[in-house]
Amino acid sequence: MSRDADGLAPPSRCRPTDELPPLLEFRDGSPVESTADWRERRDELRELLRHYVYGYAPEAPEIETTSERTAGVLDGAATLVETEIAFAALPPDAPSITMATFLPSDAVDDDRSVPVLLGLNWGGNHAAVEDPAVTITDAAREHGGREDGAAERGVAADYWCVEHVLSRGYGFATYHLADVDPDDGDPATGVRPYYDDDLPGPLGTEWGTLAAWAWGLQRCVDALRPMEAVRADEIAVLGHSRCGKAALLAGATDERIGLVAPHQSGTGGMALDRDNDQEGIGDIIGTFPQWFADTYAAFDGQVDRLPVDSHSLAALVAPRPLIDTAGARDYWTNPGRALDAVRAAEPVWELLGAEGVGDDLPLYGDDEISEETVGSLCHYRRETAHTLDEGYLDAILDFADVHFDGA
């Protein structure tokens, strides 16, 4: 199915989750009954997801970081730390990641460490805030916004709401996806060609762009954790849309990430492939073949043969907290099938002794998000189409407040 003129189509119906591949059963049919069993099943699912959907990323590389600090940015609200993350084994002209980290000035003044929201951006770090201190990188000049050339400074300020995030006691870190892969569909650009010979999987399972962006987020985690101002176990990853798919994948495959917040991530993210009457495998592979391993395309038209689905990916986050945020009018991302995935993943949180979703999903709009109302797995909606704004960020931070100590 494709979008109509407004990008909208009727929402899909939900279907019983027992038609999904089971989570608490090994491939050989034996049951998963304990935490130890789950560790093994987790590895099995992770392997299947790499093999059939996202592809194999290389092992964590050795990184080299250099940082520059500027106090008093955002009208005095933040200290900006710009960190260049280079890959030790790669030649000097290979891509590197420029991570911008904004720390609340009051926390810096008091030598206090803060939890950090780490977001993957598509317009360049300089587009996330209106402040001349942020470097416009070469990658952002070349692959700026959604069109050629650099995006305007601050064009996404109302989207990331960085000052608001800081005012809530969180730091905000971000990197531009083009640093790792510009999403132009050319396998010769970005970081992937440098690792062609080091990928652990068989032919056809090489990492797609989503896995590369996720790997980039994990490199940011490498660089954030040693920072004194950062609470290493309180790093939350966030991304919207294609970046939400990458954020979920990053969080699912890296236990150092303390909280996972895929926003309107849709197909390839939280929405199930099975019975998805919005963006199907054929649609997404047809437009963005570079996002996935080549193996994924084979499931177009025979999704029931896929041994995993998005609930499998979500379950890898357990027992860590996961909040899936969705727009009630963002039909293309299929909020209904994202909620079904959340519900289907819940038994894994319960097996691991964490409180799952409770009875009241989805949470909507002004619904309270507090220790009384949420467990470790949440699906929250607002009455919007495809966008990120302060209302969603507040929901994510309310959820983070429940699970983190540091804000």
Q: Which positions are catalytic?
A: 241, 386
Query: Nearer Cβ to ligand GTR, position 279 or 309?
Result: 279
Crossing angle between the packed helical segments 335-351 and 35-49, to the nearest 10 degrees: 150
Q: Which residues of 89-98 are buried (b: 16+ CB within 10 A; e: fewer)?
A: eeeeeebbbb
Residues that bind ligand GTR (CB under 6 A): 241-242, 266-267, 279, 284
**Least separation, in Å, of the C-beta of 267 and ligand GTR?**
5
Contacts of 346 (CB under 8 A, 6+ apart): 356, 357, 377
Contacts of 283 (CB under 8 A, 6+ apart): 1, 2, 267
CB contact at 8 A, 281 and 303: yes
Query: Nearer Cβ to ligand GTR, position 161 or 284?
Result: 284
Query: Nearer Cβ to ligand GTR, position 273 or 279?
Result: 279
**Alpha-carbon distance 288 to 50, whole Å?**
17
Question: Which residues sit opposite 66 in a β-bridge?
Answer: 84
Query: Nearer Cβ to ligand GTR, position 280 or 406?
Result: 280
Strand, coil or helix: 223: helix
319: preceding bond cis by omega (within 30 degrees) = yes
Contacts of 174 (CB under 8 A, 6+ apart): 99, 100, 118, 119, 120, 121, 125, 128, 160
**Least separation, in Å, of the C-beta of 147 and ligand GTR?**
14
**Alpha-carbon distance 3 to 282, whole Å?**
14
**Least separation, in Å, of the C-beta of 3 and ligand GTR?**
8
**Alpha-carbon distance 217 to 261, whole Å?**
13
Query: Nearer Cβ to ligand GTR, position 318 or 339?
Result: 339
Strand, coil or helix: 119: strand
- Tokens representing 14 are 């939900």
Query: Nearer Cβ to ligand GTR, position 1 or 328?
Result: 1
CB contact at 8 A, 387 and 327: yes
**Least separation, in Å, of the C-beta of 378 and ligand GTR?**
22
Contacts of 225 (CB under 8 A, 6+ apart): 232, 235, 256
**Side chain identity at residue 245, one-letter code:** K
**Alpha-carbon distance 127 to 177, whole Å?**
13
**Least separation, in Å, of the C-beta of 268 and ligand GTR?**
6
**Least separation, in Å, of the C-beta of 284 and ligand GTR?**
6
Taken as a whole, the chain contains a residue count of 407
The closest of 291, 289, 345, 292 to 321, measured between CA atoms, is 345
**Least separation, in Å, of the C-beta of 382 and ligand GTR?**
17
**Least separation, in Å, of the C-beta of 333 and ligand GTR?**
7
Query: Nearer Cβ to ligand GTR, position 337 or 403?
Result: 337
Query: Nearer Cβ to ligand GTR, position 172 or 213?
Result: 213
